[in-house]
Chains A and B, each alone.
Chain A
Amino acid sequence: MLTIQLIINALAVGSIYAVTALSFEIAYESTGVVNFSTGQLVTAGALVGASVTAIGPHLAPVAYLAVIVAMAALGLLFFVGAYLPLRNRPVLTVIIGTVAVGILVQNVSLLIWGPLPIAVASPVGNATIRLAGLVVPTHALFVILVTMVLILAVYFLLYRSPLGTQFRALAQDPETARLIGVPVMRLYALTWMLACALAGIAGLLLAPMWFVDVGLGDSLALKAFAAAIIGGFGSIPGAIIGGIAVGLAEVLGASYISSSYKDAIVFALMILFLLFRPQGLFGERVADRA
């Protein structure tokens, strides 16, 4: 029984890693840029959500919509302010640009929200429900549900819509995509909006589990990075499975091995993958990428 309870918690935490890793992947697939500001974007999302829920706890559901809108707007700003000016530079320059964006976002967050941790209510409250002898936090179930909805939405967007075909074409060969009339710049803008919105939602999902402060997303982004590597960088299903795997390793490792080594367990797993299966679980062969 305890194991099942732990697994549900692990799935909830893993879901948050999966959503964050999804944010990584979408930016990486379409632009080739590893977004090092993901952690700070997660924090920004959590803080925006915290401000909305602070008005009144009944606004918690509205907070999700507000975070999507605010983070998409921030994504557009990211595109115009950082990606657009740097996009013709070597990709390393753009990556360092994302580090700068991260620092900027973190410090602006600090100016607006201050250094004190904020408690954020979940739209489903912080109750637990009993299910066949299991005690499960409602928020954990909510997190899993929201993640499934997000994954389905991303799946339909990428694999079942014309826009998705364009996205995947852009990921494979941006030059050809441009030449055959795919609106490349618009897709890059949408990419950053989507990546930021996903990161923001991950932050808001995490917020009721932890207290929110400006460092909230930093460690989360590292775990999501590990998830992306374990799942296979450049693979959307990999991000999801990788996220869940990291959640399981962390929660089960903490209860059965040692809670002080839970981070070490995750990163040891990542290092094992880098050593013995660098393409991850679902990674593509390097030759497939033009």
Chain B
Amino acid sequence: MVEAPLLQVDALSRRFGGLQAVDKVSFAVPAGRIVALIGPNGAGKSTIVNLLSGVLKPSAGRIVLAGRETGGLPAHAVARLGMVRTFQNGRLMPRLSVLENVLLGADGVCGYGFADALLRTPRLRRQETQLRGQAMALLDELGLAGDAAREVGGMAYGKQRKLEIARALMQAPSLLLLDEPAAGLNSAEADELGRFVMGLRTRGLGILLIEHNMGVVMRLADRIVVVNFGVKIAEGTPDEVRADDAVLEAYLGRKAAHAAV
């Protein structure tokens, strides 16, 4: 054991009535690494993301982020502790501007009160100027600076996906949960997104990537965790996972897997 990973998930379980949606899943995400969580549709990936981000409470098991247990905390508390997610179906505010959407990420984490906002105290102004600068820098990096004042509603889908990552980054995460960030992107856009995510990795962020696009997963992930029917069936480097019988079987079916081997 070298040092404790940024995120440690231990025997995480969630039951919906009689259905064991997630069953004793364990894995870790170290800082500065990209771990991909993959599995066929209905494997329990989304449930795991919802458990990690505080949308659902675990039935059993532990989620430890940087030494702090976060399992069972509400979503905003989890975000404040540094685990921030993006959403599969893009949850942006269509009638706010691009910049406002990004700033909304920061609002959740920075500390100003109602009185500050009403009286526009110097403290708030300083903070606001600094956050705006930070948000614009992020937008610039993602090639969205030109759209800062636009309403999000009519923007291209690819840009909206990037915007969502920008918003998540404004929450100053130590661990980023990317829920199918490449869904609906064309391959050029997916490549560009991939490069950006690799850049985040070098900044020391831990990233848990949930993704269907296997090209993206194989290129980006340092490690891959495979789940099926709520159970972890494999874990390893992309090459190891690619060669794993159980994985082939889960994705291709029993017969096809045997034929492939």
Measured CB to CB, the residues of A under 8 A from B are 153, 156-157, 161-166, 168-169, 172-173, 176-184, 190, 288
B96/A165 in contact, CB under 8 A: yes
**Chain B residue, CB-CB nearest to A166:** B107
B75/A169 in contact, CB under 8 A: no
A172/B96 in contact, CB under 8 A: yes
B91/A179 in contact, CB under 8 A: yes
- Whether A165 touches B91, Cβ cut-off 8 Å, given contacts A178-B76, A181-B75, A181-B80, is no
**Chain B residue, CB-CB nearest to A193:** B114
CB-CB contacts of B105-135 with A at 8 A, as 1s and 0s?
Answer: 1111110101001101000100010010000
B94/A163 in contact, CB under 8 A: no
A179/B117 in contact, CB under 8 A: no
The residues of A that contact B117 with a CB separation of less than 8 Å are 157, 161-164
**Chain B residue, CB-CB nearest to A156:** B120
Name the one of A166, A173, A181 contacting B109, with C-beta atoms under 8 angstroms. A181
The residues of B that contact A157 with a CB separation of less than 8 Å are 117-118
B87 interface residue per 8 A CB criterion: yes
Please, how many angstroms separate the alpha-carbon atoms of A288 and B79 in the complex? 28
Name the one of B55, B87, B96, B108 contacting A181, with C-beta atoms under 8 angstroms. B108
B112/A162 in contact, CB under 8 A: yes
**Chain B residue, CB-CB nearest to A173:** B93
Q: Nearest-CB distance from A41 to chain B (Å)? A: 20
Measured CB to CB, the residues of B under 8 A from A are 53, 55, 75-76, 79-80, 84-85, 87, 91-96, 100, 103-110, 112, 114, 117-118, 120, 124, 128, 131, 167, 171
**Chain B residue, CB-CB nearest to A289:** B95
**Chain B residue, CB-CB nearest to A162:** B107
Please, how many angstroms separate the alpha-carbon atoms of A156 and B96 in the complex? 16
**Chain A residue, CB-CB nearest to B92:** A176
**Chain B residue, CB-CB nearest to A170:** B93
B105/A172 in contact, CB under 8 A: no
B128/A162 in contact, CB under 8 A: yes
A168/B93 in contact, CB under 8 A: yes
Q: Nearest-CB distance from A190 to chain B (Å)? A: 6
A183/B104 in contact, CB under 8 A: no
B114/A183 in contact, CB under 8 A: no
Name the one of B87, B94, B107, B118 contacting A182, with C-beta atoms under 8 angstroms. B107
Q: Nearest-CB distance from B6 to chain A (Å)? A: 19
- Whether A181 touches B103, Cβ cut-off 8 Å, given contacts A157-B117, A172-B96, is no
Name the one of B91, B110, B112 contacting A176, with C-beta atoms under 8 angstroms. B91
The residues of A that contact B93 with a CB separation of less than 8 Å are 168-169, 172-173, 176
Please, how many angstroms separate the alpha-carbon atoms of A90 and B181 in the complex? 34
Please, how many angstroms separate the alpha-carbon atoms of A182 and B96 in the complex? 15
- Whether A181 touches B171, Cβ cut-off 8 Å, given contacts A157-B117, A162-B117, A163-B117, is yes
Name the one of B87, B96, B114, B118 contacting A168, with C-beta atoms under 8 angstroms. B96
B104/A172 in contact, CB under 8 A: no
**Chain A residue, CB-CB nearest to B55:** A179
Q: Nearest-CB distance from B85 to chain A (Å)? A: 8
Please, how many angstroms separate the alpha-carbon atoms of A178 and B91 in the complex? 11
Please, how many angstroms separate the alpha-carbon atoms of A181 and B118 in the complex? 21
Name the one of A156, A180, A288 contacting B91, with C-beta atoms under 8 angstroms. A180
Please, how many angstroms separate the alpha-carbon atoms of A72 and B120 in the complex? 20
Please, how many angstroms separate the alpha-carbon atoms of A77 and B25 in the complex? 45
**Chain A residue, CB-CB nearest to B106:** A162
The residues of A that contact B76 with a CB separation of less than 8 Å are 178, 181-184
A190/B96 in contact, CB under 8 A: no
B103/A172 in contact, CB under 8 A: no
Q: Nearest-CB distance from B97 to chain A (Å)? A: 9
Please, how many angstroms separate the alpha-carbon atoms of A177 and B92 in the complex? 9
The residues of B that contact A172 with a CB separation of less than 8 Å are 93-96
**Chain B residue, CB-CB nearest to A175:** B91
The residues of B that contact A165 with a CB separation of less than 8 Å are 96, 100, 103-104, 107
**Chain A residue, CB-CB nearest to B171:** A181
The residues of B that contact A164 with a CB separation of less than 8 Å are 117
Please, how many angstroms separate the alpha-carbon atoms of A180 and B55 in the complex? 11
The residues of A that contact B171 with a CB separation of less than 8 Å are 180-181
Question: Can you spell out 25 A-B residue pairs with CB atoms less than 8 angstroms apart?
Answer: A153-B118, A156-B120, A157-B117, A157-B118, A161-B120, A162-B106, A162-B110, A162-B128, A163-B107, A165-B96, A166-B107, A168-B100, A172-B93, A172-B95, A173-B93, A176-B91, A177-B104, A178-B76, A179-B91, A180-B79, A180-B91, A180-B171, A184-B76, A190-B114, A288-B94
**Chain A residue, CB-CB nearest to B85:** A179
Contacts A169-B93, A180-B79 aside, 7 further interface pairs with beta carbons under 8 A come to A162-B112, A162-B128, A169-B96, A176-B92, A179-B75, A181-B84, A190-B114
**Chain A residue, CB-CB nearest to B109:** A181
